[in-house]
Structure 1
Amino acid sequence: MSEDLQLAARARAASVVELASELIRRPSRGGIDDYGPVLGVLEEWLSARGLPHRRLHDDAGLLVGLLVEIRGGRPGSWWTLDACVDTAPYGDESAWSFPPACGDVADGWLRGRGSADSKLAASMFCHIAADLAPHTETLHGGLAVLLDVDEHTGGFGGARAYLADESAVRPAGVMIGYPGMDEVVVGGRGLWRATLTVHAPSGHSGSSKTVVGAISRAAHLVRLLDAAELPGVDAASGFPLPPKLSVTTFHGGEGFSVIPDRCDLNIDVRTTPGFGAHDAETLVRKIAAELDADLPGPRPTEVTPVVAWPPFRLAEDEQPAAALLGAAAGAGLTVRAKTAGPSNIGNLLAGEGIPGVTAGFGVPYEGLHGIDERAHLAELPTVYAVYHRAVLDLLDS
């Protein structure tokens, strides 16, 4: 990596931390706080530097993000840096050793909710956009910076609004600024989720007539689901993880004297290229039919699909993974490419036809989504220089 980039990154670090601190001081807990103040800080900063930006709204008109666009002077692909500026809730504030919205620096750590996930990355990406702006005539394609405020809700409204925006250029790939320096996530299992509704005759728990209630039928269904045979790792596909099925909620009944006539379960199936959403649904419906045959009820068990995201995986020589891993190696870092078990926004993007997604390269951190969230700043110049180098390489062709 060039010495000029490293020197520029060190010079930028104080400004990156200053903006991130201001963002942390504006609470933006997903589904709880008003996002106007935190986006207002970003808008003021961007406007002061003449960087083109605009707000993103969902179909209901709700504010879900901010988009910065740096258009190059030569033809080429567009690439996106993505960081959320909404956060997880604080949890038990009395358990924190510092105020969750303090945004200060102590012993080399930036402290407060969002410092790790992902207000420091949001600040860093805005600064990289500012670095590129004076040199647009030499860039191919363009760079978008997506600042999502509907990420921790699970709605990913900013990403959805960005992809639905007809005036925005669809990117060839996205780099998501989650923290952690050891790994770059280049893939993830997909998911298929459904609600299962089990029916049974109702009755009085004290009646002399025996009734197999919905809870008993649902418990049998859980045993069948837990015993389901799923395929292992498909070596031929190159995908390193197997599918997984979990029962995640179980609701039914009230009080003591009534045997309920309904019980609802939530099912989460993590999918792979060799075992996709269709396979998951086929398996779960087969198991539901087996329950109805073993313990017949007044109505068939209902299977209601909720959401499906495809799995995705980039090879290390595919973009933008190649640019990011190459820049990290150039900075002397040993960074592992990882296919994640949990799904992430990369699955949503893959479902929208954008398979080129990375996530998970940033500064070391502690307390993400927990108490005393903080981000270590000593590594910030290196992380900044790696992203800057990767973006320049992507926009150079």
Structure 2
Amino acid sequence: MIEDLSQETRDHTASVVELASELVRRPSRGGMDDYGPVLDVLEDWLVARGLPHRRLHDGAGAPVGLLVEIPGGQPGPWWTLDACVDTAPYGDEAAWSFPPTCGDVVDGWLRGRGAADSKLAAAMFCHIAADLAPRAESLRGGLAVLLDVDEHTGGFGGARAYLTDPAAARPAGVMIGYPGMDEVVVGGRGLWRATITVHAPSGHSGSSKTTVGAVTRAAHLVRLLDAIELPGVDQDSEFPLPPKLSVTAFHGGEGFSVTPDRVDINVDVRTTPAFDAGDAETLVRKAVAELDAELPAPVPTEVSPVAAWPPFRLAQDEQPAAALLNTAAEAGLTVRPKTAGPSNIGNLLAGEGIRATAGFGVPYEGLHGIDERAHLAELPRVYAVYRRAVLSLLGS
């Protein structure tokens, strides 16, 4: 029973917290810090327990993650536990009431940047791999633990390196260890992103000749984009969220005396099964054509797509969502399946045909903000749920 499993895992909790504390004490801000020290902590722990692992690298040879692989003794699908060990920046350190890298436990809270997102989950997943390794021969398929150090950059370099590694078994599904006990993310809106370059003749702001500058044209385009009527929730698809369009950046010009000849606008469109990336691009290009017709310029406005991820949504009976939700219910927890508005690494995996969940972990505060901390009282139960879910997927 899950109650027995949870009681059994209480002995592991102190070790999980000890490893997580060491990880928090190693700064690993995405795109800012050297990831070597945090990876060294993980590798030392894995070596001490004889767990097979290797570093993952990007095309330039930089480390982007660590992969632990526990092959089962029987044929079957592989499943992956994924947690990032890079973190968000600290922000204003003077606003913190404790050092961002303290890694201590006070009043039942693990404190410091990465405690919630997601070094505690990384430590927990390493321990689950160590738990299962002695019984690997009885398991079907295999378990991989992916520890990504290129997640908060938005590059997801660890996941990309994992999926393109010819030596790695391709997973049937991935459980991503974001914190929070109330919800399991089983879907998310996709995205289509583009940079729009608006042109116009440059000129002196004090000239007696009036010209429609790039800033004016770009501002008009923003108004056209903001006025677009997007469809609502599509009831037939059972996807619970509508699409959304946002202008997220506007760059151009310098000083006061020159009207610029170029402005770049970033557009982010969140997509759904009924309104996909093609629909988003068509709508944006229609607004651009309207701009060029109403306010012509010698150079047409350019649309340069930069990213597209599909939306995804798992049914509650699809794996690995079913394993995680059912095991949480057995543990006496009320956990809701959620389709998220923001995109996450699950969208990247969905584009590869890999089913993913995100979320389910301990309660937390200050994620990506000041005074980040993770509450440890529920750690034994969270650990038990993940361990039991993995065992059910591996046929044990």
Same fold per TM (> 0.5)?
Answer: yes
Alignment of 1:58-207 (within 5 A): 58-207=58-207
Match of 1:307 in 2: 307
Match of 1:332 in 2: 332
Contact 2:3–2:331 (8 Å) recurs in 1: no
Q: 1:186-206: CA deviations, max 9, x gaps?
A: 000000000000111111111
Measure, in 2, the Cα distance between the counterparts of 1:138 and 1:5: 18
**C-alpha separation in 2, matches of 1:101 and 1:112:** 5
Partner of 2:371, secondary structure, is: coil
**1: distance between equivalents of 2:334 and 2:7?**
21
Structure 2 counterpart of 1:389: 388
Q: Which runs of 4+ in 1 moved over 4 A?
A: none
Distance 2:227 2:65 in 1: 43
Deviation per CA, 1:225-278, whole angstroms, max 9, x where unpaired?
000111111110111101100000001111111111111100000001111111
Aligned to 2:285: 285
What whole-Å deviation, never above 9, does each CA across 1:275-306 have from its counterpart, x for those lacking one? 11111111111110000001111111000000
Q: Which SS does the other structure have where 1:44 is aligned?
A: helix
Q: Which residue of 1 aligns with 2:364?
A: 365
2:243 corresponding residue in structure 1: 243
Looking at structure 2, the residues matched to 333 and 371 of structure 1 have their Cα atoms a distance apart, in angstroms, of 29
Residue 172 of structure 1: SS of its match in structure 2?
Answer: strand
Whole-angstrom CA distance in 2 between matches of 1:149 and 1:57: 10
Question: Secondary structure of the equivalent of 2:169?
Answer: coil
Give 5+ residue unaligned stretches, structure 2.
none
Report percent identity of matched pairs: 83
The CA distance in 2 between the partners of 1:103 and 1:255, in whole Å, is 46
Q: Is 1:55 the counterpart of 2:64 in the alignment? A: no
CA distance in 2, matches of 1:199, 1:42: 51
Contact kept, 8 Å, 2:83 with 2:177, in 1: the verdict is yes
Match status 1:351 vs 2:355? no
Count matched residues: 396
Structure 2 CA distance for aligned equivalents of residues 247 and 310 of structure 1: 20
SS in 2 for 1:316: coil
* 1:378 shift after superposition: 0.2
1:12-31 residue pairs with structure 2 within 5 A?
12-31=12-31
Deviation at 1:170, TM superposition (A): 0.3
In the alignment, what sits opposite 1:234?
Answer: 234
In the alignment, the residues of structure 2 paired with residue 352 and residue 58 of structure 1 have an alpha-carbon distance, to the nearest angstrom, of 18
SS of 2:133 mapped into structure 1: helix
- Superposition RMSD on alpha carbons, in Å? 0.8
User: Normalising to structure 2: TM-score of the pair?
Assistant: 0.99
Distance change >3 Å, CA 210–CA 6, structure 1 → 2:
same
Task: Compute the displacement of 1:209 (Å).
Answer: 1.1
* One-letter amino acid matched to 2:369: G
- SS of equivalent residue, structure 1 residue 237: coil
In 2, distance between residues paired with 1:304 and 1:32? 28
Whole-angstrom distance in 2 between the partners of 1:231 and 1:15: 50
